[in-house]
């Protein structure tokens, strides 16, 4: 056991930091909310990383991964968080990408992996349905074989940023007569421009339109878009969810969030003195930092295990539960810190189209919407109740 960085790792940090500082797009610096950006801006950093060969660090090297050690990946996250970069979206890089290189055919890998790597193709995830959330296996969207095609019918929901997507991956029922609901599900890719796919925005409580309903009506996709084997999709879906969970902890981002919270609390006043000097408030910030440290070292242990060939197992549920609870408390404390200026609602205001919201300090504008928005984190990616069920079953054996 050793917590020291080696000279190589220190040099790596320097290299990464310089690269980010020199190459991160100017127009994205200081941007707070990703959902307010246009498609081009959201992809900009991904494409720069693609050219550098750093867009998919976690992938095997033969598919374009960097071969970084867990420590290097950790440094990479920290340096990106330091600059608040808009990272590549997870749907291609962390979700469908690993499914394709693990279970897809050679043709499929050749067709789809390059676009995910270079950030030219935008992916969205068609998992949840109105009636199938936590109980994902009860999904009803069907794919019926018709010659060289599958014909897909159904409705998906919470499809994040599907309004920009070029491709989607969908869980569909291909065998309605299977003995168990988990059997008879297939993992199918679809070009989002295929006739019959309709994306309708869902406005959320923070005022954003990040998620969508996706309606699929007689959508014909070629059979070669099936990943792996027909009716084996649940295995791939679970594989993907475990991958999603391990990235969900967001340690580096939360550390950066705590740093920003401290800055805000040093500016805000309580009884004429900086809020951060108040014992009550400081204790809450300290508690958050302590919990974050516990999460950080839990994640490092998990990463070290992965490096020794132990895939992300059920313990990644800890990272999801604790990581999201911390993200939520962070936004809660930030809202608390800004006091009265948490009330003004900035989105769509002023109406003159300028980006300047003249009310209160800049750091206050996002405080309430971020707090509202982050409630989703304990719901998505398998709700935190489901994560606890996984630990109950898989680790406690109950």
Q: Scanning residues 219 to 278, which ones bind other proteins (CB under 8 A)? A: 268-272, 275, 278
CB 73 within 8 A of CB 303: yes
**Residue in 126, 369, 381, 382 binding other proteins, rule: CB under 8 A:** 369
Say whether residue 140 binds other proteins (CB under 8 A).
no
Candidate list 14, 52, 145, 203; residue touching other proteins; CB under 8 A: 203
90 binds other proteins (CB under 8 A): no
Phi, psi of 249 (to 5 degrees): -65, -35
CB of 140 to other proteins, least distance (A): 13
User: Contact 214/129 with Cβ under 8 angstroms?
Assistant: no
Instruction: Give the nearer residue to other proteins in terms of CB position, either 85 or 384.
Output: 384
Of the candidates 4, 358, 396, 398, which one interacts with other proteins according to CB under 8 A? 358
Rounded to whole angstroms, the maximal C-alpha distance in the chain is 75
CB of 256 or CB of 320, closer to other proteins:
320
Asked if 207 is part of the footprint of other proteins (rule: CB under 8 A), the reply reads: yes
Q: Which helix (H) or strand (E) holds 199?
A: strand 197-202
DSSP 37-83: S-HHHHHHHHHHHHHHT-S-TTS-GGGT-----HHHHHHHHHHHHHT
Q: Does 25 bind other proteins (CB under 8 A)?
A: no
Q: Is 78 a catalytic residue?
A: no
Q: How many residues belong to the site for other proteins (CB under 8 A)?
A: 52
The answer to the question of residue 395 lying near other proteins (CB under 8 A) is no
The secondary structure of residue 159, as a DSSP letter, is: -
- C-alpha 21: how far from chain center: 23
Residue 54 C-beta: closest distance to other proteins, Å: 33
Which residue out of 244, 268, 299, 315 is catalytically annotated?
A: 244
Cα–Cα distance list, 333 to 155, 173, 257, 339 (Å): 37, 43, 10, 10
* 8 A C-beta contact, residue 164 and residue 193: no
- Both tokens assigned to 145: 């074989």
Point out which span in 57-65, 253-261, 297-305, 383-391 binds other proteins (CB under 8 A).
383-391
Q: How many CB atoms lie within 10 A of CB 25?
A: 14
**Integer CA distances (angstroms), 83 to 33, 78, 221, 387, in order:** 14, 9, 41, 31
Following DSSP, what letter does each residue of 282-307 receive, concatenated? HHHHHHHHHHHHHHHHHHHHHHHHHH
257: which residues sit within 8 A by CB, 6+ positions away? 327, 330, 331, 334
Q: According to CB under 8 A, which one of 59, 68, 158, 363 is a site residue for other proteins?
A: 158
If one asks whether residue 176 binds other proteins (CB under 8 A), the answer comes out as: no
Binding-site string for other proteins from residue 100 to residue 129, where x marks contact by CB under 8 A and - marks none: ----------------------------x-
Q: In terms of CB distance, is 314 or 339 closer to other proteins?
A: 339
Query: With respect to other proteins, which residue has the nearer C-beta, 114 or 339?
Result: 339
Regarding 345 and contact with other proteins (CB under 8 A), the answer is yes
Question: Under a CB-based contact definition with an 8 Å cutoff, are residues 66 and 79 in contact?
Answer: no
138 binds other proteins (CB under 8 A): yes
Residues 6+ apart with CB under 8 A from 22: none
Distance of alpha carbon 343 from the chain centroid: 28
Tally of residues, the chain = 398
**Is position 394 an interface residue for other proteins (rule: CB under 8 A)?**
no
The minimum distance between CB 343 and other proteins, in angstroms, equals: 4
- Binding residues (CB under 8 A) for other proteins: these are 128, 131-135, 138, 157-158, 202-205, 207, 211, 268-272, 275, 278, 280-281, 332, 335-336, 339-346, 349, 358-360, 368-369, 371-372, 375-376, 378-380, 383-385, 388
- Residues annotated catalytic, as ranges: 244
């Amino acid at each position: 056991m050793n917590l020291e960085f080696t000279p190589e790792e220190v040099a790596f940090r320097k290299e990464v930091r310089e690269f980010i500082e020199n190459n991160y797009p100017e127009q994205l610096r200081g941007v707070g909310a990703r959902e307010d950006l246009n498609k081009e801006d959201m992809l900009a950093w991904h494409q720069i990383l693609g050219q550098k060969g750093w867009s998919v660090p976690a992938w095997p090297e033969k598919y374009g991964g960097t071969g970084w050690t867990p420590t290097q990946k950790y440094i990479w996250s920290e340096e990106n968080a330091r600059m608040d970069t808009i990272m590549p979206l997870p749907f291609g890089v962390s979700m469908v990408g690993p499914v394709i290189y693990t279970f897809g055919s050679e043709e499929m890998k050749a067709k789809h992996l390059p676009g995910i790597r270079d950030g030219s193709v935008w992916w969205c995830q068609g998992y949840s349905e109105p009636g199938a959330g936590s109980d994902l296996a009860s999904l009803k969207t069907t794919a019926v074989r018709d010659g060289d095609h599958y014909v897909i019918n159904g409705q998906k929901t919470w499809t994040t940023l599907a309004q920009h997507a070029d491709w989607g991956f969908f869980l569909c029922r291909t065998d309605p007569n299977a003995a168990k609901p988990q059997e008879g599900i297939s993992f199918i890719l679809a070009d989002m421009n295929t006739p019959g796919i309709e994306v309708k925005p869902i406005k959320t409580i923070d005022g954003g339109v990040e998620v969508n309903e996706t309606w699929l009506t007689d959508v014909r996709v070629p059979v070669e878009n099936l990943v792996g084997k027909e009716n084996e999709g649940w295995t791939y879906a679970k594989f993907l969810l475990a991958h999603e969970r391990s990235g969900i902890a967001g340690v580096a981002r939360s550390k950066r969030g705590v740093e920003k919270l401290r800055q805000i609390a040093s500016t805000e006043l309580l009884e004429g003195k900086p809020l951060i000097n108040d014992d009550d408030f400081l204790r809450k910030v300290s508690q958050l930092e302590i919990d974050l440290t516990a999460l950080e070292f839990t994640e490092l242990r998990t990463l070290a295990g992965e490096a020794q060939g132990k895939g992300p197992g059920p313990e990644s549920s800890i990272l999801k539960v604790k990581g999201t609870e911390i993200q939520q408390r962070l936004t809660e404390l930030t809202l608390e810190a800004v006091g009265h200026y948490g009330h003004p609602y900035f989105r769509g205001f002023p109406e003159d189209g300028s980006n300047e919201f003249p009310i209160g300090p800049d750091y206050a504008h996002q405080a309430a919407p971020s707090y509202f928005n982050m409630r989703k984190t304990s719901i998505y990616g398998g709700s935190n109740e489901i994560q606890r069920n996984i630990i109950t079953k898989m680790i406690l054996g109950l």
